[in-house]
Structure 1
């Protein structure tokens, strides 16, 4: 009799735990945001993707380290989690002085020239230019450079957006060093994690990913850009012998791009690495593989779309007519050692 009661009690407890677990799962799924892919040429067309429980929101609340991401051109058609700041060891990143990781997963350096502008991406309906700052210590044959600002031209009406790291003599973590403008007018984005600004028409969305100095720029159906402002520290200066002056900390940008579509003819310092026919000249095994192209990608200003290799067509081409590239944009995990992925060296 006692054994029968124990067995019944055990079954009852198991049933309660199962019901409780099911209720929790239902609540979590209900709290998770979803997105349906409407790009006609996407392998996920009309498929709804639900954010994982680990990152249930596309715009998570203050303090969350990860956000939900949906890639409509990923054949898996499954939402994933990603960090809310640039991953400098991930594809599509541009950090340090400046160190790029292309769409092909290969690390390369493009030094450009200080106080000049270069096209990072030039496509039919998107142009991303960068202004480089830097210095040349005595005895060096080239400049040390960093990306100080980005200029975006996009969409059928050639909308413009700029983002820059403001010059500072000394770095102060309590100061917002970001300056933003849309269509030539400065954007006043309130400080605070998850603060959002978007203009009428929703051409672009700017979202803070920390209280200050970090934002996510979203161009709907075109690209997402994670940006972080950092200084050249005294430690950096000592290690790399930059010769940084006392009156300038060379505040600059760490950037990571995630493209939602690109045409087969995309160009630019970074854009060309997404082309299926691109042969990266970066030499494998070299500590600092420098890739040229200054003459091909130099522009006269931050919002100029003309360069010797630029293909921007003033947004006149319909996105429906663009045959998108197959974009494999998985980020790189450098936790397993110094070398992770093809051509990627995770420590400088």
Structure 2
């Protein structure tokens, strides 16, 4: 009889705990930065379903995202009074001082970066060095006044396409080499990505990277791509850009900027020759950086990269200002209303499928299965001609490409 009562008690306790967990609402979060007033005044922002009780909010995009659990505290420092005495060591011979490592190297602590936003007075222009995880590519988060890797923030698309969704969850979408895929599609924004890659005989897929973007909004088109190159030289401009089919040229210096139309601009990102920021007011901002596959990366991942082609590609960071709840695309879907991640978590490399639903017939086509973009009449008329197949002297070629003269 006692045993039955114990079992009944355990069953009732389990039911009560399950019922409590089911009724717990996601944690409410709030933007505390008045600089982003539209987000600051919102009171109905909740953690994503994938992390209902542990999240933060990106005030600029006004999107809650998952945050990892806090790291374990360091072990306690041993009591110096209990440390055994150390035997004196013989003096070391004098060593000639070596020259300091060049700026930007991992040994030097990484590239120097600064906060450029004057609204953050205590952090503005303060120098930081990139973390060891990304010694050459990072930027300063002026809010926390600390350097962060460009590829670790929500909205990032980097490497063998590694996506970080609006919820902060990282996943991979491999697509297929020499094909285009829709990564964002909404009523007034459509972004396709052209993938390049290499076939690995020991795998059932291609190694792929994003080599160029075709961006459509209002009645405009923007193209940004990485030129094909053999040996990498970061001092050389490897970017190709055009606006409505007209090539865009920027001086390779800090502060270089072009105003392409009302509210539309392209500017160099700091002093980095191969990095630009594309911005359309009240719509989006894209930071695009051309990077190579290094010999070290190729050796570690067995890419098989040779000196004939370093597979220069784009590392990307996206910010969106006016997405609707129906937005879709490989990355765009993570910003949609009621989005639930399809990624299988708990594995080293969570992969998202859906090649068929995201596949597009061209870099400026809006015919993927999940397309949401509504073309204007002027854009429809501008798309009635076919882009030619061009072979540029730079080695960058393909449909929809404009060669520099």
2:228 is matched with 167
> Which of 45, 52, 63 is the matching residue for 2:120?
52
Distance in 2, matches of 1:220 and 1:84, equals 26
Q: Residue 246 of structure 1: CA displacement?
A: 3.0
Equivalent residues of 2:255, 2:267 under 8 A apart:
no
Q: State the secondary structure of the residue aligned to 2:319.
A: strand
2:204 matches 1:136: no
Change over 3 Å in CA distance of 1:235–1:195 after alignment to 2: same
Distance in 1, matches of 2:148 and 2:176, equals 26
Unaligned 5+ segments in structure 1 are 1-33, 58-63, 69-79, 317-348
Change over 3 Å in CA distance of 1:82–1:103 after alignment to 2: farther
2:253 matches 1:192: yes
Distance in 2, matches of 1:306 and 1:42, equals 37
> Which of 272, 287, 294 is the matching residue for 2:355?
294
Count of residues in correspondence between the two structures: 258
Q: Residue 54 of structure 1: CA displacement?
A: 3.9
Distance in 1, matches of 2:145 and 2:372, equals 31
Equivalent residues of 1:108, 1:288 under 8 A apart:
yes
Change over 3 Å in CA distance of 1:67–1:42 after alignment to 2: closer
Larger radius of gyration: 2
Q: Residue 278 of structure 1: CA displacement?
A: 1.6
Change over 3 Å in CA distance of 1:36–1:121 after alignment to 2: closer
Equivalent residues of 1:192, 1:208 under 8 A apart:
no
Q: Residue 106 of structure 1: CA displacement?
A: 0.8
Change over 3 Å in CA distance of 1:286–1:112 after alignment to 2: same
Deviations 1:43-100 (A, max 9, x none): 48xxxx981104559xxxxxx96487xxxxxxxxxxx478899710110101110110
Q: Residue 204 of structure 1: CA displacement?
A: 3.4
1:27 is matched with none
Equivalent residues of 1:86, 1:93 under 8 A apart:
no
TM-score by length of 2: 0.59
Q: State the secondary structure of the residue aligned to 2:264.
A: coil
Equivalent residues of 2:214, 2:223 under 8 A apart:
yes
Equivalent residues of 1:112, 1:145 under 8 A apart:
yes
TM-score by length of 1: 0.68
Distance in 1, matches of 2:256 and 2:35, equals 21
Change over 3 Å in CA distance of 1:193–1:308 after alignment to 2: same
